[in-house]
Amino acid sequence: MNLPLSAELIAETNAREVAALEDDYGSLGRKLSRSGIDIDAIKHRVANFSVAVPSWGAGRGGTRFAKFPIAGEPTNIHEKLEDCAVIQQLSRVTPRVSPHFPWDKVSDYAALREEAASLGLGFDAVNSNTFQDQPGQAHSYSTGSLSSTVEATRQQAVEHNIECIEIGRQLGSTDLTVWVGDGTNFPGQQDFARSLDRYLDAAAQVYAALPGDWRMLLEHKMFEPAFYSTVISDWGSSILAAQELGPKAKCLVDLGHHAPNVNIEQIVARLHRFGKLGGFHFNDSKYGDDDLDSGSINPHQLFLVFNELVEAELNPRDGFNPSYMIDQSHNVTDPIESMLSSAEAISQCYAKALLVDRQALHAAQEANDTMMAFQALRRAYTIDVAPILAMARMEAGGAIDVLTAYRDSQWRVRKAQERKAVGLGAGIV
């Protein structure tokens, strides 16, 4: 194993914090035991929880308008893996990376898998990219990819997705995430029904190439870059497409891909009800697909999503096994710090959802005791679970205080001396 940070550095920062942590953990343990909850059992479940990080999240993505790169940013998949390994080493909750192609293309994927393993990482879902033209590409995606009116363009998009599956097999992935930017900016630009027909026909060709144990995760998005309509605009279109494609097709919920104020936790419950909940892209938003850090705007919504996921765990349907991934874009922070912060927020919401007194909640729901049902959630949400997470992390070799340990490591400063500078530019990723 070739971990990027020294174990001594983590041990040194932990030594400064461990007494306070033990005190806080003991106190929270006593509080929880008064409600019949064993803190060690919760810690055990938290220790088994994980969320993948996106390879593209290791860079400062920027907005449609500008990018403000920082010194020491990664410029290729090897450097991105190193940064993801830092996140995993400190947080112990992000052991897998979700790669994106062709952004992360290399000539030898077996070697890349080994490189990741030596950094303590594996690979999660592979993401295809038919929302952007590549240099020298034969057919442009400017008016669509899997739903293009041009047969040769659709075929090119199908082949790219099949190539992603092939790469994913070599990396040890078992999921292909498909998000297409296909859609329109003008009323009348395309026929809604026929563009969906074309999408379904092309997606079926990708589906047919899935290995037996693979899933195809369909990611819906209401708008952007198409601002009038998109082909897979919402969870309704997504589940209909997934049902038509077959059992290996599932829906992926990116928290930023809905209209403002949509009840995403209910969407989660609906998709689960029909055995079609395949995965998540966690991030947060105030207006649209802002791709902000998880829990930075609406942590309560994130908690409510996890509340549904814990309900689903207890009542699994059709092999409930969603892939949890972060998908965010950092414009003003160090991406490593943002992903550490998001991983913490996501695990916190999972831990809080585990603390919900399910019996009390279900009894109140059955009795139509609205206030007590609400209070069952509120009581769990207001508990500070930070000591549980920190204890689980420390016991797994991670840092009690991930941000302080990261800053103490001087990682970015050191990388600024080694890595070449990232160019200016624009573009949401």
Query: What residues make contact with ligand PSV under the rule CB under 6 A?
Result: 56, 127, 179, 219, 221, 254, 281, 289, 327, 429
Contact 325, 98 (CB under 8 A): yes
CB closer to ligand PSV, 127 vs 148: 127
Q: Which residue has its beta carbon closest to ligand PSV?
A: 179
Strand blocks (E) in 155-239: 175-178, 183-184, 215-219, 229-230
**How far is the CA of 119 from the CAs of 85, 272, 275, in angstroms?**
6, 34, 35
CB closer to Mn ion, 325 vs 392: 325
Contact 183, 228 (CB under 8 A): yes
Distance (Å, whole) CA 369 – CA 380 = 17
- Please report, as a single letter, which amino acid is at residue 251: C
Cβ 279 to ligand PSV shortest distance, Å:
10
Piece of the chain touching Mn ion by CB under 5 A; list 161-169, 206-214, 241-249, 326-334:
326-334
CB closer to ligand PSV, 289 vs 293: 289
Strand blocks (E) in 313-388: 323-326
Tell whether omega for the bond before 225 is within 30 degrees of 0, i.e. cis: yes
> CA triplet 186, 190, 191: central angle to 5 degrees?
130
Cβ 291 to ligand PSV shortest distance, Å:
7
Interaction partner, residue 43 (Mn ion, ligand PSV, none; CB < 5-8 Å by kind)? none
Number of residues lying near Mn ion (CB under 5 A)? 3
CB closer to Mn ion, 46 vs 217: 217
Helical (H) or strand (E) element with 378: helix 370-381
CB closer to ligand PSV, 123 vs 381: 123
Interaction partner, residue 91 (Mn ion, ligand PSV, none; CB < 5-8 Å by kind)? none
Cβ 212 to ligand PSV shortest distance, Å:
25
Burial class (CB in 10 A: 0-12, 13-18, 19+), 110: exposed
> CA triplet 404, 405, 409: central angle to 5 degrees?
115
Cβ 98 to ligand PSV shortest distance, Å:
9
Distance (Å, whole) CA 270 – CA 321 = 15
Cβ 238 to ligand PSV shortest distance, Å:
13
Nearest alpha-carbon partner for 377 in 306, 312, 298, 316: 306
Contact 393, 92 (CB under 8 A): yes
CB closer to ligand PSV, 122 vs 288: 288
Piece of the chain touching Mn ion by CB under 5 A; list 38-46, 70-78, 184-192, 277-285:
277-285
Q: Which of residues 223-252 bind Mn ion (CB under 5 A)?
A: none
Interaction partner, residue 127 (Mn ion, ligand PSV, none; CB < 5-8 Å by kind)? ligand PSV
281 binds Mn ion (CB under 5 A): yes
CB closer to ligand PSV, 288 vs 299: 288
Binding site for Mn ion (CB under 5 A): 254, 281, 327
